[in-house]
Amino acid sequence: MESYRELNPAGIRGLVFDIDDTVTRNGVLEPTAYAAMHRLVEAGFDLIAVTGRPLGWTDVIARLWPVRIAVGENGAGWAWVDANGAHEGYFCSQAEREAQASLLRAIRREVASKMPAVATTNDDRHRRCDLAFDVGESRSLPRAEIDALVELIEELGARTSVSTVHAHAIPGDWDKAAGVTGALHEVLGVDLGTEIERWVFVGDSGNDAAAFAGFPKSVGVANVREHLDRLPVPPRYITDQDRGLGFAELAAQLLDRDG
Mean pLDDT of all residues belonging to the chain: 96
Q: How far is CA 113 from the centre of its chain?
A: 29
Q: Per residue in 106-134, pLDDT tens?
A: 999 999 999 999 999 999 999 999 999 99
Do 221 and 202 touch, CB atoms closer than 8 A?
Answer: yes
Q: Per residue in 150-208, pLDDT tens?
A: 999 999 999 999 998 999 999 999 999 999 999 999 999 999 999 999 999 999 998 99
- In eight-state DSSP terms, residue 113 is H
Do 172 and 93 touch, CB atoms closer than 8 A?
Answer: no
Residue type, 217: K
Q: Which domains can be identified in the chain, with CATH numbers?
A: 2-91+174-255 (3.40.50.1000), 94-170 (3.90.1070)
Rg (CA), the chain: 18
Which pLDDT value is given to residue 76?
98
Segment 8-20 shows an average pLDDT of: 97
Which pLDDT value is given to residue 206?
87
Residue 258 has pLDDT above 60, yes or no: no
Neighbour-count burial of 89, counting CB atoms closer than 10 A to its CB (0-12 exposed, 13-18 middle, 19+ buried): middle
Segment 220-240 shows an average pLDDT of: 95
Cα three-residue angle 175-96-164, rounded to 5 degrees: 30
pTM to 2 decimal places: 0.95
